[in-house]
Structure 1
Amino acid sequence: MANITLAIPDEIYKKMKKYKEIKWSEVVRRAIVEYIRRIEEGGFSITSEELLEELGEDFKKKLNELSAEKAIEGYEKIRDMEWKEISTTQAN
């Protein structure tokens, strides 16, 4: 299974931390699967360009500024955090 890293606003992250019992990676995975299903079924009439336009210039700028090194660093940090969560969950 491939891994991805994503950035979310600090405000959302703080809210997510309140619900430690929720597997947020699963929530995101399901959202992506559903989104792809809707696209493939023609449920969305928005193009990639329109989506980027809707997300705004700030998002596009941050996306363009993301270096491979930063992406790898973020991935490794999240992977380590998930490993700690999994290992402590299984230990209980």
Structure 2
Amino acid sequence: MPNITLSLPKDLKSNMDKLPEVNWSEITREFLSEKVKRLVLLKKLDKMLENSELTEKDCIRMGREAKKSMHDKFLKKVA
């Protein structure tokens, strides 16, 4: 597995050193993996939507409707 080197502020490194039980390599690997997945997905979505006629306002409205629908389904499930 390739290695990378990071530069950290001294106070952050000092605080990390106070937590020797934490596997910082694993946490960093997981964080970077998730970040890359999200960025790749966003890039794909941008490509898919580049010719879309939806406005930002339309997207926000649809997002709110989807969120409300999911919330309502969850409430029915737990009721």
Structure 1 position 3, deviation (Å): 0.5
Task: Give the AA of the match of 1:38.
Answer: R
TM-score, scaled to structure 1: 0.45
Structure 1: gaps of 5 or more residues: 44-92
- Show CA shifts across 1:31-74 (max 9, x none): 1101000001118xxxxxxxxxxxxxxxxxxxxxxxxxxxxxxx
Aligned-residue CA RMSD in angstroms? 1.2
Structure with larger RCO (C-alpha < 8 A, sep 6+): 1
| 1:40 has 2:40 as partner | yes
Q: Which has the larger radius of gyration?
A: 2
Cα drift, residue 12 of structure 1: 0.1
How far residue 11 of structure 1 moved from its aligned partner, in angstroms, is: 0.3
Written as runs of structure 1 = structure 2, the 5 A alignment for 1:3-82 is 3-42=3-42
Gaps (5+ residues) in structure 2? 44-79
How far 1:28 moved relative to its partner? Answer: 0.8
Q: How many residues get paired? A: 43
TM-score normalised to the size of structure 2?
Answer: 0.52
4+ aligned runs moved over 6 Å, structure 1:
none
What displacement does 1:17 show?
0.7
Query: In the TM superposition, what is the alpha-carbon distance from 1:14 to its structure 2 partner?
Result: 0.5
